[in-house]
Chains A and B, each alone.
Chain A
């Protein structure tokens, strides 16, 4: 079943066309990756799906709700993790998770417990966020994003700033989230990560989707060893 349906999406910032008529779908239980260089329009697309930015033209439908008309409904079952997101520095990790959990109608204690489990910060969960390393902050934020068991998780560079071990752990958590039935829309510069994580990918450059398919199909089509090679060929 289609969870995200993006049709002919266009986004202008003044005279600059950041997203140029893109269309894609994400199914339930699927991990869909948007990959592309900086400034390609990935973050803008994710922000639109997350209800943060308004649409210039086209449509975005999430689980039957139009982003333009029902953003408040959509916010109840999505979760967005921005690339360079932060947390409130004066709160402890636990207090931050509790603050977020309080916005949801579900059992907030259960949500917090799951967030603590995903963040896996041990005793440091009761330390102030200000004292966390970059990797610890990212783990806390991934915990925050996935603790609510969203129907759609929108993850912008989810493993950014994490070391190899932590990044692998987070990738497993994302896989499990999709396995549990959630749709995952993510963006990444890390082509290998995308190849490992995503069921389908879209290559985006200068605001346009220039190729789309499963990693295997793309590798076959371009006779490439990895997605990085596919990307270079497509962009070239």
Chain B
């Protein structure tokens, strides 16, 4: 083999380690799963939305509305009597419909008298994730189509209406039913308002867990690589103090990260928000100080659980390089709930996925803010208790590992045999 070939072979052997391959595979899997999700959403966009309507007007222009709705959606309820509204809402809700649209009295007359015809849309919102509101976009599209078609008719008939009315002849009032609450906004607006919780908190938590976690794993790996661990373990200090000390120091730095990231990301997201942004408190969607306390507790305990898990992984690290590979499972466990909470709503997930997300301890501070807005204290407090138990059990396992030979000799017989043979 030539010298060049020899060097290339050696470099490839050093570079193609699990530490480099696994993240690439993982990223490919993440993109693959995002692609699959997007495919599902595209299909949803092509499906006819399930709607109900009440036409109180029954004149020429409102007929355009109903014909569009009948052609472009799956109508599960229709009536011309406003008294049926409650029944219609129940029907839409029961049949997993998206909205009940009410074409108000005098809809046609108002338009022809230079006033926008009023449509009342009652939305059934299932989740506040980015993907959850995609289906409502289809209905938004239908309403645009309604406006276009009425515009066309007005222009073709040379109706003597104001140009702005001719171009956009309807007005709309939105009422959304979401988690047993009636909110005077469209699902898109609600989702937008909750975007800081949907995006900011999961990203920040994911970053803190990965950063602080890799610090703990690296710290353990460096203790082994720099041969300081053996000395530390023969000093008059309890194993629990070593474990707690390492976790506490990393948790402190993790919390500093949290504050810095939270501030930075908040500024970043504010940059995208309009100045006339709707106020969450006006719609009873704001978090109270006790909610923030619960989120803080959830975040802190999750951080401790993450660090304990990382410490456990760190005990398996042989050196700094192997520590990089060991951060992979933690990264994966932090990224899965991050993507899930960013794009969907915990409540709308299938049971199996819901159980998986609940089982991942890092999910809980990510799902807590939205759950608290809708007063789901059982989920949040249950999550805190679960993560606390997870953290305690993991710390106990770490302390046990510290008391065994595993920490110094590794776990497998094969490795020891190899070491022994090599030393001889």
Asked if A85 and B405 make an inter-chain contact with CB atoms under 8 angstroms apart, the answer reads no
Complex: how many Å from CA A10 to CA B205? 48
List residues of chain A with CB within 8 A of the CB of B283. none
Complex: how many Å from CA A15 to CA B412? 11
Complex: how many Å from CA A133 to CA B149? 84
Please give the number of chain A residues whose Cβ is less than 8 angstroms from any Cβ of chain B in the complex.
Answer: 33
- Is B237 close to A, CB under 8 A? yes
Asked if B424 and A80 make an inter-chain contact with CB atoms under 8 angstroms apart, the answer reads no
Asked if B424 and A37 make an inter-chain contact with CB atoms under 8 angstroms apart, the answer reads yes
List residues of chain B with CB within 8 A of the CB of A78. 234
A219 to chain B, nearest CB (A): 27
| Interface of A, helix, strand, loop or mixed by DSSP | loop
Complex: how many Å from CA A104 to CA B235? 8
- Is B417 close to A, CB under 8 A? yes
> Which residue of chain A has the shortest Cβ distance to B409 in the bound complex?
A13
Which chain B residues numbered 272 to 299 have a C-beta less than 8 Å away from chain A? none
List residues of chain A with CB within 8 A of the CB of B423. 38-39
Of the residues A16, A80, A144, contact of B230 by C-beta under 8 Å = A80
List residues of chain A with CB within 8 A of the CB of B236. 72, 75-76, 103-104
B327 to chain A, nearest CB (A): 21
List residues of chain B with CB within 8 A of the CB of A86. 226-228
The tally of CB-CB contacts under 8 A between chains A and B is 75
Complex: how many Å from CA A52 to CA B230? 7
List residues of chain B with CB within 8 A of the CB of A88. 226, 228
Of the residues A13, A52, A54, contact of B233 by C-beta under 8 Å = A52
Which chain A residues numbered 21 to 58 have a C-beta less than 8 Å away from chain B? 37-39, 47, 50-54
- Is B404 close to A, CB under 8 A? yes
- Is A4 close to B, CB under 8 A? no
Of the residues B227, B234, B405, B421, contact of A54 by C-beta under 8 Å = B405
A206 to chain B, nearest CB (A): 9
Asked if B408 and A80 make an inter-chain contact with CB atoms under 8 angstroms apart, the answer reads no
B410 to chain A, nearest CB (A): 9
Asked if B420 and A16 make an inter-chain contact with CB atoms under 8 angstroms apart, the answer reads yes
Complex: how many Å from CA A27 to CA B26? 59
Asked if B231 and A13 make an inter-chain contact with CB atoms under 8 angstroms apart, the answer reads no
Of the residues B226, B237, B404, B417, contact of A16 by C-beta under 8 Å = B417
Which of A13, A84, A144 is packed against the most chain B CB atoms within 10 Å? A13
- Is A155 close to B, CB under 8 A? no
Which of B237, B404, B409, B412 is packed against the most chain A CB atoms within 10 Å? B409
Quick one: given A72-B236, A88-B228, are A53 and B413 in contact (CB under 8 Å)? Answer: no
List residues of chain A with CB within 8 A of the CB of B230. 47, 50, 52, 80, 82, 85
- Is B238 close to A, CB under 8 A? yes
Which chain B residues numbered 217 to 240 have a C-beta less than 8 Å away from chain A? 226-228, 230-231, 233-238
- Is B269 close to A, CB under 8 A? no
List residues of chain A with CB within 8 A of the CB of B231. 80-82, 85, 100, 141, 144
Complex: how many Å from CA A193 to CA B416? 30
Quick one: given A14-B416, A14-B417, A86-B227, are A75 and B234 in contact (CB under 8 Å)? Answer: yes
Asked if A75 and B405 make an inter-chain contact with CB atoms under 8 angstroms apart, the answer reads no
Quick one: CB contact mask for A168-212 with B, threshold 8 Å, 1 for yes?
000000000000000000000000000000000000000000000
Quick one: CB contact mask for B361-397 with A, threshold 8 Å, 1 for yes?
0000000000000000000000000000000000000
Which chain A residues numbered 114 to 163 have a C-beta less than 8 Å away from chain B? 141, 144
List residues of chain A with CB within 8 A of the CB of B228. 85-88
Complex: how many Å from CA A81 to CA B408? 15
Which of A53, A76, A86, A100 is packed against the most chain B CB atoms within 10 Å? A86
> Which residue of chain A has the shortest Cβ distance to B238 in the bound complex?
A72
Asked if B234 and A13 make an inter-chain contact with CB atoms under 8 angstroms apart, the answer reads no
- Is A18 close to B, CB under 8 A? yes
List residues of chain B with CB within 8 A of the CB of A85. 227-228, 230-231
Quick one: given A72-B236, A75-B235, are A39 and B424 in contact (CB under 8 Å)? Answer: yes
List residues of chain B with CB within 8 A of the CB of A52. 230, 233-234, 408
List residues of chain B with CB within 8 A of the CB of A76. 236
Quick one: given A51-B234, A89-B226, are A13 and B404 in contact (CB under 8 Å)? Answer: no
- Is A61 close to B, CB under 8 A? no
Asked if A82 and B417 make an inter-chain contact with CB atoms under 8 angstroms apart, the answer reads no
Complex: how many Å from CA A39 to CA B230? 18
Complex: how many Å from CA A58 to CA B283? 73
- Is A92 close to B, CB under 8 A? no
List residues of chain A with CB within 8 A of the CB of B421. 39
Quick one: given A85-B228, A87-B228, are A18 and B420 in contact (CB under 8 Å)? Answer: yes
Complex: how many Å from CA A185 to CA B236? 19
Quick one: CB contact mask for B231-270 with A, threshold 8 Å, 1 for yes?
1011111100000000000000000000000000000000
A-B contact pairs, 17 of them (CB 8 A): A13-B417, A14-B416, A16-B413, A18-B420, A39-B420, A50-B230, A53-B409, A72-B236, A76-B236, A80-B234, A82-B230, A85-B230, A87-B226, A88-B226, A89-B226, A100-B235, A144-B231
Which residues of A are interface residues toward B (Cβ below 8 A)?
Answer: 13-16, 18, 37-39, 47, 50-54, 72, 75-76, 78-82, 84-89, 100, 103-104, 141, 144
7 smallest beta-carbon distances between A and B, as pairs: A14-B413, A39-B424, A86-B226, A86-B227, A80-B234, A39-B423, A13-B416
Known: A15-B413, A51-B233. 12 other contacts (CB 8 A): A16-B420, A38-B423, A47-B230, A50-B230, A51-B234, A75-B235, A80-B231, A82-B227, A82-B230, A85-B227, A85-B231, A103-B235
